[in-house]
Amino acid sequence: MYLIVIAWLYVTLMMSVAEATSSNGTVLGAGITFVLYGLLPMGIVIYILGTPSRKKALKAREQAEQAAYDAEQAAARQASLSSVPPDAGSEAAAATQEAVVAAVRKEP
């Protein structure tokens, strides 16, 4: 892909040099020729052809962030389960739920 871009930029550079050195050409015209025939179209081509790799990198980054989040949540869940001892039925103790409810109740 980059070989074609380099070759096209070389061709437009030679067009610019020919325009700058011709008897009725100008350096300004050569610069405009190089930018409008060379840099601008090749920038667009590189952007379009690079889209799949950008999407792949974005997807990989999102998956890595999701995996890190999932590991963090699993560690937090494991830490919360290990801090409260299970009751006789091998289930999590209800002490944490009673503490929340007790704070909401009105005292008679």
Determine, yes or no, domain membership for 20. Answer: yes
pLDDT at 79: 77
Determine, yes or no, domain membership for 6. Answer: yes
**What pLDDT digit, counting tens, does each position of 24-70 carry?**
999 999 999 999 999 999 999 999 999 999 999 999 999 999 999 99
Instruction: Give me the number of domains the chain comprises.
Output: 1
Determine, yes or no, domain membership for 104. Answer: no
Determine, yes or no, domain membership for 38. Answer: yes
Q: Domain span at residue 55?
A: 2-76
Decide if pLDDT at 95 tops 60.
no
**What pLDDT digit, counting tens, does each position of 65-91 carry?**
999 999 999 888 887 776 655 555 555
pLDDT at 96: 53
DSSP the chain: -HHHHHHHHHHHHHHHHHHHHSTT--HHHHHHHHIIIIIHHHHHHHHHHTHHHHHHHHHHHHHHHHHHHHHHHHHHHHHHHHHS-B-TTSSB-SHHHHHHHHHHSPP-
Q: Considering the entire predicted model, what is its pTM? A: 0.56
